A and B are shown apart, each in its own frame.
Chain A
Amino acid sequence: MDTALLEQHFNEKIDQDIRIEPKDWMPDHYRKTLIRQISQHAHSEIVGMLPEANWITRAPSLRRKAAALAKVQDEAGHGLYLYSACETLGVDRDDLFADLHSGKAKYSSIFNYPTLTWADMGAIGWLVDGAAIMNQVPLCRASYGPYARAMVRVCKEESFHQRQGYEIMLTLCNGSDEQKKMAQDALNRWWWPSLMMFGPTDKDSKHTEQSMRWRIKRFTNDELRQKFVDVTVPQAELLGLTVPDKDLKWNEERGHYDFGEIDWKEFFNVISGNGPCNKQRIEARKSAWDNGAWVREAANAHAEKKAKRKAA
């Protein structure tokens, strides 16, 4: 079959919402787009463990510690589901790691901000996992089968992440003045980076149009961001906290909140490697990889020895 015909067949499947599976023919550009998006997503889950791992040993109670540990472990799982989905497209996991470590591959800019206080654990669960859920739910219907199936697993697990975060915020807000201040401070610092998680505005997003055509994405960045603001503002009110945006206002006519301009200079600055923690995050990943090399080698040696003994 010639390429034009194959492509036509592929497009028909996309239009009919028939999932594309690993061995099916797909355009090169579709494959590349998926590899970029899925690996970025996997890297984000893995790097996303770092800011929170920072607080596991300092959680204020055993209950909180168990939840934090379970959440961080889930994020590792999410990364692994996604790496394995990505590998079905014909890439090697070690190459994906190499791209992360060299800075060639990107991950979500949000994880380049520091977690300064315990309240940050609340704000991250509530806002960062909340924004992630908003992004991820439509991806459960992405046109590429292995990606969609990985996202179904991820979404099932995310809900507790957001709820435990909100519960932390709620507890702080019902606590002493100092605790409430801490919660407000965390909201102040995490609000804008959370809005940036949806990516550049539609007019600046170079991948959106093609990804929507291929039904990898179902909503644009701005649509999802608006949805996030609309559901999150009332949640902040319930906590008695103030969203740090003087332009935030309910717009009766639109049926949505209007909100202020995002500092895109900051966004692109962090994305390009100059956020407060970019270096630290990549260093942590690299040293985990390098210091774990002997474990990987030892496991191989052990497996070989066992196989030999079995054969003898």
Chain B
Amino acid sequence: MNKNWPLWEVFIRSKAGLNHKHVGSLHAADADMAIQNARDVYTRRNEGVSIWVVESTNIAASDPADSDQMYEPAKDKVYRHPTFYNLPDELKHM
């Protein structure tokens, strides 16, 4: 009975048209309470128009130790960027 309230991660949309962004975490007994608490803790000054909460244990994350194999391969693929291609200055609208 005496278990601690679980931890929730809080994501807030600061205004319509923007995506939800992680702002921090909090403890709550359930999702409804987590949203209520998130409102009090993270939106006291109009910081949000929408709140998502996810129980922290439900988040799967990549391991920083794998960073090299995960992100290194993208680094040398400069040809994925528009500036890689040599085109004359006279060329317009491209």
User: Would you call the interface of chain A mostly helix, strand, loop, or mixed?
Assistant: helix
- Which of A102-110, A198-206, A293-301 sits within the interface? A293-301
Q: Which residues 1-51 of B have a CB within 8 angstroms of A?
A: 1-5, 7, 24-30, 33, 40-41, 44-45
When the two chains form the complex, which single residue of B1, B25, B44 contacts A297, counting CB atoms closer than 8 Å? Answer: B1
> Would you call B24 and A92 a contact (CB within 8 A)?
no
Instruction: Give bound CA distance, A120 to B64, whole Å.
Output: 49
- A-B pairs with beta carbons under 8 A, tally: 57
Residue of B nearest to A94 (CB): B4
Chain B interface extent, by class: 20 to 34
> Would you call A307 and B30 a contact (CB within 8 A)?
yes
A210 CB–B CB distance under 8 Å: no
B61 CB–A CB distance under 8 Å: yes
Given A84-B24, A297-B1, is A303 in contact with B33 using a C-beta cutoff of 8 Å? Answer: yes
Chain A interface extent, by class: 20 to 34
**Smallest CB separation, A89 vs chain B (Å):** 13
- Which of A45-53, A74-82, A233-241, A253-261 sits within the interface? A74-82
Besides the known contacts A81-B41, A296-B5, 17 further A-B residue pairs in the complex with CB atoms under 8 A apart: A1-B65, A21-B64, A24-B64, A70-B44, A73-B44, A74-B44, A80-B41, A87-B7, A92-B4, A94-B4, A153-B24, A297-B2, A299-B28, A299-B29, A301-B1, A302-B30, A303-B30
